[in-house]
Structure formats: structure tokens, C-alpha cells
């Protein structure tokens, strides 16, 4: 039988707020955003969003209103993932 290779995630998103640190990983940036265990009601503070892909990393500070918009629904997560990924270039 062939051995299966364990593929490590290529992208990582970490949201750091006063009430904790929330981490999501995936093979693409939108997939990593979708895996962050955070929803609209858990966002109660401003926070830092750290995005890592390959050897590149970016950090941005967002106010509570923007963070709530980011994690309000699936479409918003994909949109913000694409917007934040532009900072890696």
C-alpha cells in the first residue's frame, strides 16, 4: 500500500483580541479564514489579524466594527480574505 503524505497547511490566519487568540489554517487564504472559530458575536474588542502564507507575513489592526463585518458570514469572510491577501504582495 502507498503511504499517504501528510500535507501541512500553506496558509495561517490568527486573530488576536483581548478575549483570546483564534487560529485557522488551510491550503488557501479563504479556506484559512473559514477555519477561524470566530463569529460575529464573539468579536467584542479591536484586534490584530495576522496572515501568513509561505514565507510572507502581514499584520493589521482592525477596529471592532471591521472585525465584526469580517466574520459576519461566509461571503464576508471570503471577501476580506481576498482584501487582506493583497498586503502580502
Q: What is the pLDDT of residues 68-81, one digit of tens each?
A: 999 999 999 999 99
Neighbours of 66 (CB within 10 A): 15
Does residue 16 belong to any structural domain of this protein?
A: yes
In the numeric block, the cell 500553506 is attached to 10
65 falls in which pLDDT band (50, 70, 90)? very high
Number of domains in the chain: 1
Q: Answer yes or no: is 1 within a domain.
A: no
CA 41 to CA 52: how far, in whole Å?
Answer: 25
Whether 20 is covered by a domain: the verdict is yes
Residue 76 domain-assigned? yes
Does 82 reside within a domain? yes
Residue 6 maps to a domain? no
Residue at 5 is within a domain: no
Confidence of residue 3 (pLDDT cuts 50, 70, 90): confident
Q: Does residue 73 lie within any of the structural domains?
A: yes
Amino acid at each position: 500500500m502507498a503511504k499517504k503524505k501528510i500535507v501541512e497547511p500553506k496558509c495561517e490566519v490568527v486573530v488576536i483580541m483581548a478575549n483570546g487568540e483564534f487560529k485557522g489554517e488551510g491550503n488557501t487564504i479563504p479556506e484559512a479564514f473559514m477555519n477561524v472559530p470566530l463569529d460575529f458575536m464573539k468579536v467584542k474588542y479591536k484586534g490584530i489579524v495576522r496572515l501568513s502564507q509561505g514565507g510572507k507575513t502581514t499584520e493589521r489592526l482592525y477596529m471592532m466594527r471591521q472585525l465584526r463585518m469580517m466574520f459576519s458570514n461566509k461571503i464576508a469572510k471570503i471577501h476580506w480574505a481576498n482584501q487582506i491577501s493583497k498586503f502580502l504582495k
